[in-house]
Amino acid sequence: MSADRFREFETFVCVIDSGNFSAAARKLGCTPSAVSKLIERLESRLGVRLLQRTSRTLALTQDGRNFHLAAARALEAVNEAEASLSNADASVAGLLRVHTTLNLAQQQLAPLLPEFLARHPQLRLEFLLHSEAVDLIAADIDLSLQVGPVANPSLVAKRLATTRWLLCASPEYLKQAGTPETPADLEKHNCLNFLPHTYRSVWPLRAQINDTGMDSGRQDEVVRHEPAGNVACNSDNFLRVLACQGMGIARLAAFHIGPDLREDRLSTVLTDCLPDEREPVFAVFQSRRNLSLRVKVFLKFLEEKFAQSQDWDV
């Protein structure tokens, strides 16, 4: 990419990220008129209108939206190529603040941290552990690890893994209460669940042939259940502990319970009734541009280790 084209791409992406010419000019160290002229030159060279301008707002055209995505990827590739050389021998130091859930931190991150910190002894880590999403800027968070959809479209979400959700209970509970054979059997069981009417409290299960031989629905149809039980909470880790103690059946992600399944503290039930969908595990951060080396090495390490893990799809 020539220097002129790089400058055009950089200016256009900066305008979109900043929201207006004046803010982009301040970041780029030039005047708003210079920014405007660069955008006009880019549109003239491409032969399309990228922005709809009014006296107060800027709006992307459809061509502008497509070009913005491509230009941002191109700039990222150039920056990563340069960073691969300039950071090859750089030592990673300073503080990295990470937000995630307690269970993901305990089950997946804690076993990996000794190796990561041995590789980067000058790095320090701070963890903010709870299930609610956080304002990354207000909480001064470098990186958030989240399971499922990311609600804030202004954030960058990089997929690290996918996982499936499983129904599980302890062998002791199943010995006493019996093993459910159909989704309807859950009505006879104590189901440990997330708080009522929340996203995680609904258990999607595929229809099955019932005990009378009648079809309870198309077998490819997913039926939404919100089963009853004597405990509900907002913590996946607490539900996992209760399930291990024989309190009932819980619905938890595979990475929550992989070690418990391998050590026979938990057993899965109704596996034939589970939907095929997998849920993404994202690393979420503010921007790909000027991403710190601390975040980059942590992301690379997690991608490497998560790819080797047995726990995402047990």
Read off the CATH number of the domain in which 145 is found: 3.40.190.10
Does residue 148 sit in the same domain as residue 292? yes
Does residue 173 sit in the same domain as residue 266? yes
- Answer whether 208's CB lies under 8 Å from 219's CB: yes
Distance in angstroms (rounded) separating the CA atoms of residues 175 and 76:
55
pLDDT at 88 over 50: no
Question: For residue 55, with 0-12 CB atoms within 10 Å meaning exposed, 13-18 middle and 19 or more buried, which class applies?
Answer: exposed
Does residue 113 sit in the same domain as residue 137? yes
In the structure encoding, which two tokens stand for residue 14, read together?
Answer: 């900066």
Does residue 36 sit in the same domain as residue 114? no
Does residue 18 sit in the same domain as residue 110? no
Give the whole-number percent of the chain exceeding pLDDT 90.
Answer: 44
Q: Write out pLDDT tens, residues 131-145.
A: 787 888 888 899 999
Q: Which of 56, 88, 77 is nearest to 1 (CA)?
A: 77
Q: Has residue 251 been placed in a domain?
A: yes
- Tell the residue number behind the tokens 């819980």, with chain if given: 250
- Give the count of beta carbons closer than 10 Å to the beta carbon of residue 53: 12
- Answer whether 150's CB lies under 8 Å from 286's CB: no
Which residues are CB-contacts of 139 (< 8 A; sequence separation ≥ 6)?
Answer: 97, 99, 128
Does residue 186 sit in the same domain as residue 132? no
| pTM reported for the whole predicted model | 0.63
Q: Has residue 253 been placed in a domain?
A: yes
- Answer whether 21's CB lies under 8 Å from 51's CB: no
- Answer whether 286's CB lies under 8 Å from 157's CB: no
Q: What would the mean pLDDT of 42-64 be, rounded to a whole number? A: 85
The whole-angstrom distance between residue 27's C-alpha and the CA centroid of its chain comes to 29
Q: Has residue 314 been placed in a domain?
A: no
Edge to edge, the sheet with strand 143-147 lists 123-129, 94-100, 143-147, 279-285, 156-163
Please identify, among 40, 63, 86, the residue that sits at the C-terminal boundary of a domain. Answer: 86
Does residue 294 sit in the same domain as residue 199? no
Most confident of the following: 13-27, 45-59, 135-149, 265-279: 265-279
- Answer whether 10's CB lies under 8 Å from 28's CB: yes
- Answer whether 1's CB lies under 8 Å from 9's CB: yes
Q: What would the mean pLDDT of 225-233 be, rounded to a whole number? A: 92
pLDDT at 164 over 50: yes
Q: Has residue 98 been placed in a domain?
A: yes
Does residue 78 sit in the same domain as residue 13? yes
Question: Please, what's the largest Cα pairwise distance for the chain?
Answer: 77
Please identify, among 68, 86, 104, the residue that sits at the C-terminal boundary of a domain. Answer: 86
Does residue 265 sit in the same domain as residue 174? yes
pLDDT at 86 over 90: no
Distance in angstroms (rounded) separating the CA atoms of residues 157 and 159:
6
Does residue 100 sit in the same domain as residue 62? no
Give the whole-number percent of the chain exceeding pLDDT 70.
Answer: 89
Task: Point out the least confidently predicted range of 101-110, 147-156, 182-191.
Answer: 147-156
Q: Has residue 312 been placed in a domain?
A: no
Range of the domain at 24: 3-86
